[in-house]
Chains A and B, each alone.
Chain A
């Protein structure tokens, strides 16, 4: 599953980079507005003034938004849960001994921060998806409310985001053993409880963390610009494309995180509430965790 997520992420990066290159190459020229010789030149200049380089970004945006975005999102929100469902069926959840020794894993502060982040982030994802699938829901005031909620959640989410960054930065720094973790995909593909190489956070969590921090930053910035149309139309188009594509990755990660916490590791929801994790779980999934 993570591989799929990876590939989507890479694809996204590739796409974004590609568009950005084209964008910089095309800059200028469009608005030149010099004395137009032929009517074709004139029309070209005119449309440049009216809507920027529509042929380049407008058409691309129309194509992606009209044909692809909703389909990809649909695929993500159906395929990812299906895969997890199969995983759950075949491999099943990891059960750890909750009656055994407990380790105080998350401080109260961390839990509150995470809780606020979780709520607002969930809202962001849900309302974002509501907007994407607005026509199924009939549009109108419901989706308008979703839009407003999207904005409010985004603002709310920004704060815990920063706090989490400062709180967990040290633990989230990539380490060599993360590669090993990746190779065995965190051991989720087997039912055996073999200790996997991970400290406080495993490589998957780290990816999610960084994705949330950087992706979240990009989402916040692009979202802010799109909300207020605070740039020229070509930039707005580009940012909207980025916002959507990045959104796909985030939705996928979000679903993964939800699956992990709610289903894949029985009781992990409890841990983030109470702050305690079973020692067994820590020893297996976070084998390198250093006890204080």
Chain B
């Protein structure tokens, strides 16, 4: 029943290995200052002593060869930065965008789970339509053809104003611009989006 209060795990040695510097005191001091400055902004104050980015020789990565993509959160208009780690074409995890000039890595609960937008099992998977009250899968060609034919027939019969086009504040500027352009080319001003409300 030896209750050792401090037990060293098998790998703690590698993760907290000592750094070799000629003058450790000076090195630590200057580094401390630096990290204290960043800590005030990012909230994390990990000195190299703790996080020892292990020397190149025994450097290991959980996702070797992964890429980091800088992108922007899709929830609110603050526009927080996101660093997405992509491995073999799969978004494996969300990194901390610690030096984004507005968010400094910060996220609310929605943004912290941004990856779920891609991985959620609740996503729509195929074009669908309702047949006798039941949802049925379509191919893209079928869907676009059916929709297009109905729209064209309606335009023919009732004129372009029989269509209401609700665009989105959740798409890019380019897409938003295309929404408006679409309405113009369709021939109606019945176009609007969430900014109205």
A interface residues with partner B (beta carbon < 8 Å)? 66, 70-71, 74, 133, 135-136
In the complex, chain A residues whose CB is within 8 Å of the CB of B2: 135
A66-B3, A136-B1 known; 7 other A-B pairs, CB under 8 Å?
A: A70-B1, A71-B1, A74-B1, A133-B1, A135-B1, A135-B2, A135-B3
Residues of B1-47 whose CB lies within 8 A of A: 1-3
In the complex, chain A residues whose CB is within 8 Å of the CB of B3: 66, 135
Chain A contact surface mostly: helix
CB distance from A132 to the nearest CB of B (A): 9
CB distance from B4 to the nearest CB of A (A): 10
* Complex Cα spacing A133 to B2, Å: 11
CB distance from B86 to the nearest CB of A (A): 38
Who on chain A is nearest to B1 by CB? Answer: A70
Q: Tally inter-chain residue pairs, CB-CB below 8 A.
A: 9
* Complex Cα spacing A71 to B3, Å: 12
Chain B contact surface mostly: loop
* Complex Cα spacing A66 to B1, Å: 10
Who on chain A is nearest to B3 by CB? Answer: A66
CB distance from A137 to the nearest CB of B (A): 11
Who on chain A is nearest to B2 by CB? Answer: A135
In the complex, chain B residues whose CB is within 8 Å of the CB of A74: 1
Who on chain B is nearest to A70 by CB? Answer: B1
In the complex, chain A residues whose CB is within 8 Å of the CB of B1: 70-71, 74, 133, 135-136
CB distance from B10 to the nearest CB of A (A): 16
In the complex, chain B residues whose CB is within 8 Å of the CB of A133: 1
* Complex Cα spacing A265 to B1, Å: 35
Who on chain B is nearest to A66 by CB? Answer: B3
CB distance from B72 to the nearest CB of A (A): 36
* Complex Cα spacing A74 to B3, Å: 15
9 residue pairs from A and B, CB less than 8 Å apart: A66-B3, A70-B1, A71-B1, A74-B1, A133-B1, A135-B1, A135-B2, A135-B3, A136-B1
Who on chain B is nearest to A134 by CB? Answer: B1
* Complex Cα spacing A71 to B1, Å: 9
In the complex, chain B residues whose CB is within 8 Å of the CB of A66: 3
CB distance from B61 to the nearest CB of A (A): 30
* Complex Cα spacing A217 to B3, Å: 32
In the complex, chain B residues whose CB is within 8 Å of the CB of A135: 1-3
* Complex Cα spacing A248 to B148, Å: 81
* Complex Cα spacing A74 to B1, Å: 10
In the complex, chain B residues whose CB is within 8 Å of the CB of A136: 1
In the complex, chain B residues whose CB is within 8 Å of the CB of A70: 1
CB distance from B9 to the nearest CB of A (A): 15
* Complex Cα spacing A70 to B3, Å: 11
In the complex, chain B residues whose CB is within 8 Å of the CB of A71: 1
Residues of B82-117 whose CB lies within 8 A of A: none
* Complex Cα spacing A141 to B178, Å: 61
Who on chain B is nearest to A136 by CB? Answer: B1
* Complex Cα spacing A135 to B7, Å: 14
Who on chain B is nearest to A132 by CB? Answer: B1
* Complex Cα spacing A136 to B3, Å: 11
Who on chain B is nearest to A73 by CB? Answer: B1
* Complex Cα spacing A70 to B1, Å: 8
CB distance from A124 to the nearest CB of B (A): 21
* Complex Cα spacing A133 to B1, Å: 7
* Complex Cα spacing A121 to B2, Å: 29
* Complex Cα spacing A74 to B2, Å: 13
CB distance from B1 to the nearest CB of A (A): 5
* Complex Cα spacing A135 to B4, Å: 11
CB distance from B34 to the nearest CB of A (A): 31
* Complex Cα spacing A128 to B140, Å: 64
* Complex Cα spacing A136 to B2, Å: 9
* Complex Cα spacing A217 to B185, Å: 82
Closest 6 A-B residue pairs measured CB to CB? A70-B1, A135-B1, A136-B1, A133-B1, A66-B3, A74-B1
* Complex Cα spacing A136 to B1, Å: 6
* Complex Cα spacing A173 to B2, Å: 45
CB distance from A139 to the nearest CB of B (A): 12
CB distance from A76 to the nearest CB of B (A): 14
CB distance from B2 to the nearest CB of A (A): 8
